[in-house]
Amino acid sequence: MDQKWISVFFLLSVVCGLSAYVPHRYHFVNESKTWIEARSYCRQIYTDLATINNMEEMNKLTEIIKDKSLRVWIGLERVDWQWLLQDGTVYKARLIYSNWATGEPNNNDKEVCVLMNEDGEWKDEECSYSSPFVCFEGKQSRHVFINDAKSWHDAQSYCRKNDTDLASVRNQTENDEVKKVANRKTVWIGLSRVSWKWSDESYSSFRYWMQKQPDNSGGKENCGEIVMTDEGRWNDAKCEEKFSFICYENQLILINQNLTWREALRYCRDHHVDLVSVHSEEIQLWVKEVAQKASTEHVWLGLRHTCTLSFWFWVSGESICYQNWAPGNGSGEEDCSFVERTGAVQSRGGQQWVSLPEDQKLNFICTTYED
C-alpha cells in the first residue's frame, strides 16, 4: 500500500455525524433584472437561478444577502399540468397532447391529479380519491392495470416500487393503450399539476412561502422571489419586475474522458479539487443525476481499497459512514492479485457502487470547490 494512502487512513474521522453538505455554491448578484434576464445571466456565468431543496440550503442562501431589505429572485416558476417522472424530472415540453373531457379541467384548486375515464377522457380530481390505476413497466415497455383502489400518491408509490411509474400519456396511441389496458375502468394516470418548478428542471417539494402566499394576485405572478424583510420567506411576483438575484454553481462536474482511476484522481486535483466523495444520501442523489450523462457504464468515485489493511476509504479523508454498494461489492475481501481495487458508481439502473480494477478507463466526477 502506498504511504500516501496510509496517511489518508490515519486522517479519517472516527465519528459519523450528520452531513452539512450543500451540493452547490450560491452567488448573490446585486443587479436589477427581470426573472428571465436573471435566469439567462446565471446560465451564462454559473449554472442556473438558485434552487433550494431544504432549510439548510435556505439558510446558506440568506447568509450571503447582506442587505436585509431586498427582494431577490430565485429559480422558482409557476407551471401548469406536467408529467412527473420517477427520477424527479418533468417533461420539458408542456402538455402538448391532452384528452380532457368536456368541461375539464375545471380549475378547482383541490383537484390537481388526473383520472382517465372509461372512454379514455381525462378529468382532474382530488389526489385523495381512491381509484384503480395504470402503471408503466419500463423494462418491457408495457402498461399494467392495477385493480386496487388507491389515492394518486399511493398509486404513484406502488408503480415506482413495482414497475416504473404511473402511466404517462403523450400521444393518442399511448392514450388508446392505457384505455385498452384499463378495460373500461376509471384509472389514475401520472399527470398532476405541479404548480411550481425550478428553472433547472429539478424537482423539490421544499417550499418556504410567506403567510397567505402564493396568491397569484391579478393572475400574473408566475415567478418566485425571496423577501428579506420577512425572514427570507418566498412570495410570487410578476416576472417583469426587476430585482437582484441568486445564482447557483454545481459542486460536481462530470468529466467525459476515459481515464484510469489514478489518472482521474490526478486530473481532478490538477483542474478542480478532488474525485468526489459520497458521504451522505444527499450527495449520492446528486452523483446519480450527474452520472446519468456519462458515456461509460460506470463512473469513477474517490473510493479506494487497500489490500494491505483490507478496507475501503475516501481519498478526501471522510469516513465511509454512508454506503450504497451493489450486491457482491464492497465486502472488503477483494482480489488483489493483479491491481488495486477502486470504486465507481453505475451510470444507469440502480446507480449503486461497484468495485473495479483501477486500470479500467472510465468517465469520472470531480468536485469543483472545497466545503
| Span(s) in the chain for CATH 3.10.100.10 | 3-20+251-367, 24-77+200-250
Q: Which of 2.40.270.10, 3.10.100.10, 3.30.465.10, 3.10.105.10 is the CATH number of 24-77+200-250?
A: 3.10.100.10
Q: Which value, to the nearest 10 degrees, does the dihedral of the CA atoms of residues 269, 274, 275, 279 take?
A: 170
**Long-range pairs for 214-217: beta carbons < 8 A, 24 or more residues apart:** 214/78, 216/78
Residues 30-65: tens digit of each pLDDT: 999 999 999 999 999 998 999 998 888 899 999 999
Is residue 332 very low, low, confident or very high in pLDDT (cuts 50, 70, 90)?
A: low
Share of the chain above pLDDT 70, in %: 88
Reading the block at residue 291, the C-alpha cell is 452520472
Residue 358, SS3 per DSSP? coil
pTM over 0.85: no
**What's 359's DSSP letter?**
T
Contact yes or no for 261/342 (Cβ under 8 A): yes
Residues 164-197: tens digit of each pLDDT: 789 989 889 999 999 999 999 999 999 987 678 8
**Concatenated DSSP letters for 3-18?**
HHHHHHHHHS-S----
Architecture of domain 3-20+251-367: Roll (3.10)
Cα dist from 79 to 101, 111, 178, whole Å: 21, 15, 25
Task: Count the Cβ atoms, other than its own, within 10 Å of residue 77.
Answer: 18
C-alpha span between 361 and 353 (Å, rounded)? 16
Strand-pairing partners, residue 71, are 227
Q: Which value, to the nearest 10 degrees, does the dihedral of the CA atoms of residues 90, 240, 28, 370 take?
A: 20
The upper half-sphere exposure of residue 59, i.e. CA atoms within 13 Å in the direction of its Cβ, equals: 6
Residue with cell 416576472: 239
C-alpha span between 50 and 27 (Å, rounded)? 9
